[in-house]
Structure 1
Amino acid sequence: MVGHQAAAWSLGRTTAPGWGPTDMRIAHISDVYLPRLGGVEWQVHDLVARQRRRGDDSFVLTTTAHGDDHEPDVPVHRLGVSRRLGAGPYRRIPDAELAAALRRCAAELVHVHISAFSPLSWTAARMAGSTGLPTVISVHSMWHDFLPLIRRYARWQRATTWPVVWTAVSTVAARAVSAALDSTVVEVLPNGIDPGDWRISRPPGRPPIPTLVSVMRMVRRKRPHALVDVLLALQASHPGRFRAILVGDGPLLPRLQRRAANSGSAPSIQLMGALPRPAIRSVLATADLYIAPASRESFGIAALEARTAGLPVVARAGTGIADFIRPDVEGWLVGSDGELAETLAGLLDDPARLAVVAGRNRTTTPPMSWPSVLEAADAMYQAAIRRQADPLVPGTVGAPG
């Protein structure tokens, strides 16, 4: 089940009394990391960087290769990168090798970042009992489509007996993790942003027609094909009434670019490829609406950034985006691609609805700011320390100290 304080971060009850910065050596373990680009990669980097700024000696252990391991804000230790056997960044690291790396790095606490297929992270989570290190597990993906498989694996590994604290990045993701773990308590530890980075002044001389924008990796699970289908249909029903900018790289990008070009939609529908963060902020500054088409979005950091920039957001219902987008308040949640198309058409026909939501989003800040997320992480670390000290103590935020 989802923890009884799963949403505590949004209510200001994120830590036990007196609990502050951990001042500990925290190992963040993630199969995927920079320079590979994605939501998990950036979130791990940003979390570690902010912990270090406040005094924690945090670092990253990963199997992702080919990075600058001397970046000043985040130390990175890359394991197994010379091994030929593997799939992309994923490598199997034996228990003894990982335990030796944790000893060599003098880790005092482990924060594991896990998706469905994360060999390094699953190994680190399983080792919590043998290493004696307090361990927090953050699930960054939606397990709904893999529940039977993950449940069987978790039972085989006896995951519900591990002396760890389980978390997920959103309420809907936490429910699936709890179901996979036979109703184990799963807390919500959301992703974070710095609102000041995304509060954007609207430049003069903006385009006279509404600009729709989406930022995503061009991979199947993000559903960029479905979004292009919707935009092409919208162009047929509302010719010349909008322009769309899709930002992001990935294996599907060349095919999508050819499709847009062959449809004659350019320049109304532009696929820009990957852009650095300052360029994305510039795109958001000229946009009027953000679209998130993925139906299995565990959190939706790009949507949160757009909402913080003042954009109304249209997203699929039943995703992590519902934690910060309420229907007709910060945006709209739709149940299908057909409903997405209808909602976009309706907003183009009634721009006053867009203006009302945009005005609210420009003057309010979502609760997932980094100070709140850091405090929530501290509460999870405290629970993990209690759990490791006494495995019979429930590893939840509200457990007695």
Structure 2
Amino acid sequence: MRVALVSDCYLPRLGGIEVQVAELAEQLRRRGHTVRVVTATADPVDEPASPAPAHVLRMPPPVPLGVPVNPWAGPALHRVLAGADVVHIHLGVLAPFAALAARQAVRLGRPLVLTWHSMVGAGPITRSVAAPWRRWVAAGAVPTAVSVAAAAELADVLGMPSVQVLPDGLDRSSWRPDSPAAVRARAGGAGPPRLVTAMRFAARKRPGQLLGLVHRVRGGLPQHRRPRLQIVGDGPWWPAVAKLVRHTGCSSWVDLPGRVSRPQLREHYRSADLYVSPGRKEAFGLAALEAAASGLPVVGYAGTGVADVVRQGTGSLVGDDAHLVALLQDLLAHPAELERVRTVAHDRARSPQGWASDWDQVGRATESAYARAGAAT
């Protein structure tokens, strides 16, 4: 099958949707499909030049616009999509290039699958762009979302009883913990408990709020049980958060290592006690899934995509910030209970039992969505 994967942005080094599109392309190719990734993003200019993969077709605008938009891409995009057996578009609430591709695919009568990677909500922006979404679905497009929470919001916006969940994928073998002995060696060891999270430093990820929440957690614990916090990643809010850490005296217990490689991230996870996801608008939570696959218990918020991670791995969900603080204080104050949840999470990560996000299962679910789209056209 010839598959066209379309995304506004395609810079896999940044993570998020770009990593998922890149890895989905590779998985589909392994399953025997011919894949073309189409994007409005130009080649990155801040890294050494390297040849782009042959299956990636970039369509940046002829003049720099500062955003991944190319209103002149119509004819070239038409030719690419016309040669596809199925078009799979990855988008969020605002995705102009993806929307252009969706319109083209509908006009061409191509089988179309749409995957939303964000919580669409019900605000004015969503209301302003949702009418085309409903038209595409009425024309036979198959809508999907990356988590139960995201699918519920999308179904409400589309006026549908339900929407298929097509989760982000993960190669668990790359994150698998080494051995049960590693947990036993760490449990009850010297030093304070260690919390970790990984994020793109942006407002919706709540890095500043996380600092305040962990500060409250520390204030309710004896000195030897007060946790350290490591926030891995970078982004536009990193300088502000780093300044906040310096000026509030948090540098003795907060570590901001910046962006790290995936092997380095695995080591950060394997040396931590708990993964904390502070976002209230997480559509999925790939970093939380990677942490769970590394054997870490995950703590996050109900009503977000992290709930799917906790359901297929281990961890706890909270309803609000106060509940998060109370849960962490209770867990960190009792080393035996912390050891227990770490052991459960570690054993679950090493279990051969499949997860919904294992790439083999995601690949089959994706092909099923393609078949549904083909039957609808």
Give your verdict on TM over 0.5. Answer: yes
Residue 35 of structure 1: how far off its partner (Å): 4.6
Deviation (angstroms), 1:69: 7.4
Q: Which amino acid aligns with 1:208?
A: G
Deviation at 1:332, TM superposition (A): 1.1
| CA displacement, residues 183-232 of structure 1 (integer Å, 9 cap, x when unaligned) | 26421111110111111223967763211000000000111111011122
Alignment of 1:370-385 (within 5 A): 370-385=359-374
Mapping of residues 278-317 of structure 1, within 5 Å:
278-317=263-302
Q: Which amino acid aligns with 1:341?
A: V
* Match status 1:75 vs 2:76: no
Cα distance, 1:36–1:364 mapped onto 2, change above 3 Å:
closer
Q: Structure 1 residue 355: deviation in Å? A: 2.1
CA distance in 1, matches of 2:324, 2:280: 12
Structure 1: how far apart are the matches of 2:63 and 2:174?
A: 39
CA distance in 2, matches of 1:52, 1:207: 47
C-alpha separation in 2, matches of 1:189 and 1:275: 27
Work out the CA distance in 1 between the residues paired with 2:32 and 2:137.
33
> Paired residue for 1:196, among 173, 176, 182?
173
Q: AA paired with 2:90?
A: H
Q: Deviations over 1:287-337 (max 9, x none)?
A: 11000000010011110111111111110111011123149x811111112
Work out whether residues 61 and 73 of structure 2, in 8 Å CA contact, stay in contact via their aligned partners in 1: no
Correspondence for 2:131? 155
Distance in 1 (CA, whole Å) between partners of 2:162 and 2:263 is 39
Residues 142 and 207 of structure 1: CA distance in aligned 2, closer, same or farther (over 3 Å): farther
Q: Which amino acid aligns with 1:244?
A: L
**In structure 2, which of residues 140, 143, 149 is the aligned counterpart of residue 172 of structure 1?**
149
Once residues 247 and 156 of structure 1 are traced to their aligned partners in structure 2, the CA distance between those partners, rounded to angstroms, is 37
Tell me, in whole angstroms, the C-alpha distance in 2 between the residues paired with 1:156 and 1:27: 20
When the two chains are superposed, the root-mean-square deviation of aligned CA atoms in Å is 2.3
Q: Which residue of 2 aligns with 1:134?
A: 111
Say whether residues 1:216 and 2:196 are aligned partners: no
Tell me: CA distance 1:215–1:207, structure 2 relative to 1, closer, same or farther (3 Å). farther
Q: Is the partner of 1:364 in helix, strand or coil?
A: helix
Question: Aligned residue for 1:117?
Answer: 94
Contact kept, 8 Å, 1:128 with 1:162, in 2: the verdict is no
**Counterpart among 257, 260, 264 of residue 275 in structure 1:** 260
State which drifts further: 262-271 or 296-305.
262-271
1:98 corresponds in structure 2 to: 77
Relative to structure 1, is the Cα distance of residues 267 and 89 closer, same or farther in structure 2, using a 3 angstrom cutoff? farther
Q: What's 1:345 paired with?
A: 329
1:341 Cα offset (Å): 1.4
Q: Quick one: structure 1 residues 355 and 249, their matched pair in 2 at CA, closer, same or farther if it must change by over 3 Å?
A: same
Of 204, 215, 229, the match for 1:244: 229
Please say if residues 147 and 308 of structure 2, whose CA atoms lie closer than 8 Å, have aligned partners that are also in contact.
Answer: yes
CA distance in 2, matches of 1:97, 1:25: 17
User: Per-residue CA shift, 1:336-385, capped at 9, x if unaligned?
Assistant: 12221111111111232222222222222533100000000010010011
| AA partner of residue 57 (structure 2) | H
Shift of 1:246: 0.5
Structure number with the bigger relative contact order (C-alpha 8 A, sep ≥ 6) is: 1
Q: Secondary structure at the match of 1:144?
A: coil
C-alpha change, 1:83 and 1:331, in structure 2 (3 Å) is: same
CA contact (8 A) 2:60 2:69 kept: no
Overall identity of the aligned pairs, in %? 37
For 1:231, the aligned partner's letter is V
1:367 aligns with 2:356: yes
With normalisation by structure 2, the TM-score equals 0.88
Match of 1:27 in 2: 4
Would you say the 8 A contact 1:244–1:268 is kept in 2? Answer: yes
C-alpha distance in structure 1 between counterparts of 2:335 and 2:96, whole Å? 48
Report how many residues are paired: 359
SS in 2 for 1:58: strand
Structure 1 stretches of 4+ moved >4 Å: 203-207
| Other structure's SS at 2:310 match | coil
Q: Which moved more, 1:34-43 or 1:299-308?
A: 34-43
Counterparts of 1:313 and 1:93 in 2: how far apart (Å)?
Answer: 44
For residue 97 of structure 1, report the CA deviation from its aligned partner: 3.7
| Partner Cα distance (2:26, 2:239) in 1 | 34
1:199 and 1:156 mapped to 2: Cα distance?
A: 42
Displacement of 1:120: 1.0
Flag the 1:181–1:94 CA change in 2: closer, same or farther, 3 A.
Answer: farther
